[in-house]
Chain A
Amino acid sequence: MNGATNPGGGNHLERTDQGGLYRELSRSNLPATKRWYAVTGLLLLVTLWGVGCFVYMMKVGMGVTGLNRPVMWGALIASFVFWIGLSHSGTLISAILRITNATWRAPILRGAEAMTAFALMVGGLFPLIHIGRNWRFYYMIPYPNSRQLWPNLRSPLMWDAVAINTYLLGSLTFLYFGMIPDLAIARDHATGWRKKFYTVLALGFRGSHNEWRRYHVASTIFAILIIPVAVSVHSIVGWDFAMAKVPGWHSTIFAPYFVTGAIFSGLAGVVLVMAVLRKAYRLESALTTVQFENLGKLLCTMSLLWGYFYFAEFLTVWYNRNPEEWEVYRSYGGHYLPLWLVMVVCNFVVPFPLLCMRRVRRSIPALCFVSFLVVVGMYAERFLIVVTSLARRNDPFIWHNYFPTWVEFSILAGALAMFLLLYTVFAKLFPIMAISDIQERLFQATDRVVGGTTVESIARPEASGEGEHG
């Protein structure tokens, strides 16, 4: 950290100017510049364009999309699956790293958790956009009404609604709870309206011994609870498809395959978000190559796992040659070949060998390039899953190739802009780095002389009997 002033003994926090560290890590909260307004304004414009296209679609009807029998789920539903998948790694990775007490985790926690919350918000809009007659979406809400309508809880789509809401509420709570000590730090440094804002949000957290102990227990419980929720959410998204007797969807492997793909794309998203934050807010001393290399290792593992799942799925269909299923796979070599190649090349052929190289993992531009490929490849995968199975459904007489229209592309662009807009505004208002976690990590770190060299040593308070009164 730049705040380090004295290379003497003691823990690393004692050698750090904490005020300087706060200023460095909270750079994103500085008053907005013209550049910030320009970027935000542009994102707002694109978001409004997307909203406008949605209103147009609502007014004219679903005919403005490329959807037609038998492909009644298209780019909007593929985007729903993609965004929900992208939301995965944030909270999930943050929770896993908290539980395993990974010492490198602190700088990526907040950014990853925020990514989850905003990706879920954006992803959750797609089914509502897609349903047609959008003004009647409230029919899905369970409340006694004169229409005698009630949601059918046997439908996987309702499981989805329940699971996504649980995950969204859980992720928002996880994000907020993790932010409380940082809001307290911000409160004590801020002036004017920001001081009042942070005072309310910090809920009076002061950093007393009693508060810290309970905060840690609560954080751990949260992390333990959110992991199975995250896994269940994408399993259920997988079951949206797997429960239908549609060739290409009706597969027992879909739930774990979807979870794997979600973590894979989510990790790539975390890398990209971290790289942008690092560059935009000059966080080079907090977000070092250590974080990127470790994320690269996880990405490499997930690429291999994704390749394994895809091959396992393909092999059984290829060997079995059930004509209905095989026609879906045959279309990968025909009309959908370019998209299939994008998927395989971007998800496995290029990322896996590249990520095996330490040089690539330690190079942030190279890792960003690979992560971008993965995001593109995973979108292609979601599109192929949703569209080709419907396009080659049962009766060859009704086979139909789908391509999104400008309206759908506009809504997708609007969604991306909305995600970026939410993130930009969040980074301006809230501490985007987990300052107290970074301070805690510095507090636990000391220098230890081993032979002729000095190495960093991390103390683990919980391993030394802390909590015996708990």
Chain B
Amino acid sequence: MSVVVVVGLFDGIGKAAGGGNALRALPLAEDRITTLSSVPLPDGAVSRDTRRIRFPRATLAGWFVGALAGLALALGTYLLYPLITGGKAIVSVPPTLIITYEVAMLGALFGTVVAGFREMGLMRFRTKVIHDPRIHEGKILLCASVEPGDQERRAIEAMREAGGIEVRAEEGVL
């Protein structure tokens, strides 16, 4: 099923919220409506984010991978390059904990970055994405993925009636 994106530029959050309500009344599913704005809008103010935020799991996974790497580095060092000192154990626990902790935190930070970027959909340099720089003038861009034809026409009409100052259909991805 091919889709087009209908975008409407709104002057302020109140009108954009009206546009969102009009789209939902078409009816259009919540996950097909979103906004582009210069500031984060509260969830539900205009559109609602229906997708679960999953990447914090990657933070945890990164932490465990880092911890294992740190542990491997410390233990591997003791085993491959043993420092034999009278009366001392070859494997020293407190330094192992410190190295493991530091590498684990690094893993968690990297896990968050990589998975966060991925889930945010960044770094799509070759894809034509919907964007309008006028959001930095205080405008809000309301976007809806619709089927071409009747639904597209009704979405454009709904946005215009809600006070969209510029409404158009665009090719690209949200």
Q: How far is B118's CA from A204's CA once the two chains are assembled, in angstroms?
A: 12
- A204-B129, A221-B56 given as contacts; is B49 within 8 A of A469 (CB)? yes
Q: Which residues of B contact A470 (CB under 8 A)?
A: 52-53
How near does chain A come to B125, taking the closest CB pair, in angstroms? 6
Q: Is the CB of B125 within 8 A of A151?
A: no
Mark interface residues in B91-122 (1 if CB within 8 Å of A CB, else 0): 01001101101110110111011001101111
Which residue of the partner chain, among A185, A204, A436, A469, contacts B48 with CB atoms under 8 Å?
A469
Q: Is the CB of B116 within 8 A of A218?
A: yes
Q: Is the CB of B112 within 8 A of A225?
A: yes
Q: Is the CB of B49 within 8 A of A210?
A: yes
Q: Which residues of A contact B84 (CB under 8 A)?
A: none
Interface flag for B80 (CB, 8 Å): yes
- A18-B138, A173-B109 given as contacts; is B49 within 8 A of A209 (CB)? yes
Interface flag for A61 (CB, 8 Å): no
Interface flag for A334 (CB, 8 Å): no
Interface flag for B59 (CB, 8 Å): yes
Interface flag for B64 (CB, 8 Å): no
Q: How far is B172's CA from A257's CA once the two chains are assembled, in angstroms?
A: 56
How near does chain A come to B35, taking the closest CB pair, in angstroms? 5
How near does chain B come to A467, taking the closest CB pair, in angstroms? 7
Binds A, one of B36-44, B144-152, B153-161, B162-170: B36-44
Q: Is the CB of A208 within 8 A of B36?
A: yes
**Number of chain B residues close to chain A: CB under 8 A:** 64
Q: How far is B38's CA from A16's CA once the two chains are assembled, in angstroms?
A: 13
Q: Which residues of B contact A461 (CB under 8 A)?
A: 40, 42-43
Q: How far is B43's CA from A18's CA once the two chains are assembled, in angstroms?
A: 22
Mark interface residues in B64-91 (1 if CB within 8 Å of A CB, else 0): 0000000001100110110100000000
By beta carbon, the residue of chain A nearest B117 is: A203
Q: Which residues of B contact A218 (CB under 8 A)?
A: 55, 112-113, 116, 120
- A22-B136, A204-B125, A205-B122 given as contacts; is B105 within 8 A of A214 (CB)? no
How near does chain B come to A20, taking the closest CB pair, in angstroms? 10
Interface flag for A216 (CB, 8 Å): yes
Q: Is the CB of B106 within 8 A of A170?
A: yes
Interface flag for A217 (CB, 8 Å): yes
Q: Is the CB of A209 within 8 A of B35?
A: yes
Q: How far is B83's CA from A314's CA once the two chains are assembled, in angstroms?
A: 37
Q: Is the CB of A466 within 8 A of B56?
A: no
- A154-B83, A170-B105, A228-B105 given as contacts; is B116 within 8 A of A214 (CB)? yes
Name A's B-contacting residues (CB within 8 A). 10, 13-14, 16, 18-19, 22, 142, 148, 150-154, 158-159, 162-163, 165-166, 169-170, 173, 177, 180, 185, 188-189, 203-218, 221-222, 225-226, 228-229, 232, 236, 436, 439-440, 443, 461, 464-470
24 contacts between A and B (CB under 8 A): A153-B78, A153-B99, A159-B95, A159-B102, A163-B98, A173-B113, A189-B136, A205-B122, A209-B49, A212-B39, A212-B41, A214-B116, A215-B40, A215-B120, A217-B56, A218-B113, A218-B120, A221-B59, A221-B112, A222-B112, A225-B109, A439-B39, A461-B43, A466-B44
